[in-house]
A = this chain, B = another copy of it.
Amino acid sequence: MEIGAAAQSGWPDAARRWCRTQRIISHPSSRIAMRSTLKDIAQALNVSTTTVSWVLSGKGEQKGISKATEERVMKYAKELNYQPNLLARSLHYGTSHTIGLIVPSIGDLFYSSLARVIEQEAEKFGYALMICSSESDLGKENRMVDALRAKQVDGILMAPTKLSDEKIVSMLDDKYPFVLFDRYYPELPTNYVIIDNENSSQQLVSHLIRRGYRKIAIITTNTYLYTMDLRYRGYCNAYAAAGLTPDPGLYGVVEYGDHEVELERVLDRIFERVPDVDAFFFATHIFASRFFAYCADRGIGLDFGFAALHEEPLYSVLAPNFNVATMPIEGMGHEAVRILLQNIKNRSGKKKADAPKQGVILSCSLKYRD
């Protein structure tokens, strides 16, 4: 469906303005409208680009440009609505004032909330964001790191898939500024911002135990992630601290692949092996939603104890007793950006020695609703 000519003809003044503010230049095999450049202004005003550049960057006075020239330039630039080409500027300075963000899945509310915080934080310091979603695909993730670096972003924030450390090592080798968050490589000297996975998990599970639950299932995934391992440890610690041992049948791993189907299988097995399971601990929020759907489908009531790391909007409505360790999203975003910018600054500073790497572990805030 196309808008007819009638709809387009209503903009004579827009068209008129266009003629004033644009120039038609000849370019590789084409004629396209380009925004005006320093050179255009300089030529039109019969001054040098140097002068224009100085005026427009506010160094007019300092460089001793006459008030008259300054005003002519300012006025004309405003008229043209001149905007500097930041690509050219970046090329000169060797810094793009852009940072890259790579998350496993921008469609996940956790990561998109984080992206939101990070964007606001970055904007505060004059940095733009290039966001990439790796969709938990290592190949994609690797390509994204390369693409971001080739596009000369000043640094990268990333929650890695952790399926390989090749790119991480190469960024370390290059002393390229980057900060890992949510997940990290405990054996590599990188900057990172994570949460207190083990402790939060232990607190949650201990709380369930205190409340009298004894058959607490743990639903986890991607066990090669150190993050997940820590959460499992927290679960075990809680049992150990209570002098109890969890039934092995309560351990449910949703293997990578089709989560939806896999989770069902895992839950089926748990209900079969431990029919009197009385509580669920979700090592990651993504399974809680599916769990509710699972129960609704099968007409299973929600009279269990619940706990999870992170929650999404409706959990507590569905299960008012839902205990949760809330991820410090603000804090994570804030810290990650802070550390990255600090590293970027250090890099262009005079320091010869490496800046020491920073690892930040943030606490979740626990909400006991049980």
A positions within 8 Å CB-CB of B? 1-3, 7-8, 10-11, 14-15, 17-18, 21-22, 27-35, 81, 83-88, 90-91, 93-94, 96, 98, 105-109, 112-113, 115-116, 119-120, 123, 128-133, 135, 140, 146-152, 169-170, 172-175, 187, 189, 289, 292-293, 296, 312-315, 317-318, 320, 347-350, 352, 354, 356-361
Interface-centre pick from A84, A187, A356 (highest chain B CB count, 10 A): A356
Given contacts A113-B107, A151-B87, A189-B3, contact A33 B175 (CB under 8 A): yes
Cross-chain contact A34 with B94 (CB below 8 angstroms) = yes
Given contacts A8-B189, A152-B87, contact A17 B348 (CB under 8 A): no
5 closest Cβ contacts across the A-B interface? A112-B112, A107-B116, A8-B189, A131-B131, A314-B314
Cross-chain contact B115 with A106 (CB below 8 angstroms) = yes
Q: Which one of B108, B175, B348 lies within 8 Å of A18 (CB-CB)?
A: B175
Cross-chain contact B120 with A116 (CB below 8 angstroms) = no
Cross-chain contact B115 with A128 (CB below 8 angstroms) = no
Cross-chain contact B31 with A152 (CB below 8 angstroms) = no
Q: Give 30 CB contacts A-B under 8 Å.
A: A1-B359, A2-B358, A3-B358, A7-B189, A8-B189, A8-B357, A11-B169, A14-B169, A18-B173, A21-B174, A22-B174, A22-B175, A30-B350, A32-B94, A32-B348, A33-B175, A81-B170, A85-B91, A98-B130, A109-B109, A112-B112, A115-B133, A116-B133, A128-B130, A129-B130, A130-B130, A289-B313, A292-B317, A296-B317, A296-B320
Name the residue of chain B whose CB is nearest to the CB of A88: B91
Cross-chain contact B128 with A151 (CB below 8 angstroms) = yes
Cross-chain contact B189 with A10 (CB below 8 angstroms) = yes
Q: A175–B8 Cα gap in the complex (Å)?
A: 13
